[in-house]
Chain A
Amino acid sequence: MTNQGADVNPLKDRTAIVGIGQTRFGKGLEDSELSLACQAISAALDDCGIAPSEVDGLASYTLEPFREVEVARSVGLGDITWFSQVGYGGGAGCGVVTQAAMAVSTGQAEVVVAWRARKRASKASRPWANVAQRIEDNGQWSRPWGLLRPVDEIAILTRRYMHEYGATRDHLANVAIAFRKHANNNPAATMYERTLSREEYMNGRWISEPLCLFDNCLETDGALAAVIVSAERAKDLRQVPAYIHAGAQGIPPQHNTMTNYFNDDPLMGPSWAAAKGLWRYADLGPADVKVAQLYDAFSPLIPLSLEGYGFCARGEGAAFTEDGALEWPHGRLPTNTAGGGMSEAYVHGFNLVLEGVRQIRGTSPNQVADADVSLVTSGEGVPTSALLLRK
Chain B
Amino acid sequence: MSEFLLPVDDDPLTQPFWEACARGELRMQRFTASGRYCWPPRPMDPVSRTLEYEWVPVSGLGTVWSVAIPHPPLLPAYTDLAPYNVVVVQLDEDPALRMVGNVVAAADAPLNSIDPHAVEIGQRVRAVFSPVGDMFLPRWVPVDT
Contact = CB atoms under 8 A, between A and B. Distances in A.
Contacts, number: 116
B86 A156 contact: yes
B84 to A, nearest CB: 6
Contact of A261 (B6, B69, B78, B88): B88
Interface size classification for chain A: 35 or more
B68 A135 contact: no
The residue in A141, A143, A146 that gathers the most chain B C-beta atoms within 10 A of its C-beta is: A146
A149 B100 contact: no
B121 A160 contact: yes
Interface stretch (A202-210, A244-252, A283-291): A202-210
B83 interface: yes
B96 A156 contact: no
A259 B39 CA distance: 12
B118 to A, nearest CB: 13
Interface of B: 3-9, 11, 14, 39-40, 46, 65-71, 74-75, 78, 81, 83-84, 86, 88, 95-102, 111, 116, 121, 132, 137, 139
Contacts of A264: 95-96
A336 B49 CA distance: 43
The residue in A143, A145, A157 that gathers the most chain B C-beta atoms within 10 A of its C-beta is: A145
Contact of B83 (A135, A206, A263): A206
Interface stretch (A112-120, A126-134, A325-333): A126-134
Contact of A262 (B7, B84, B98, B132): B98
Given A135-B8, A145-B100, A145-B102, 13 more contacts: A131-B5, A134-B5, A135-B5, A140-B14, A142-B100, A145-B139, A152-B86, A156-B68, A156-B88, A206-B71, A207-B70, A209-B68, A264-B96
Interface of A: 129, 131, 133-136, 138, 140-149, 152, 155-160, 163, 205-210, 254, 256, 259, 261-264, 266
Contacts of B66: 156-157, 159-160, 163, 261
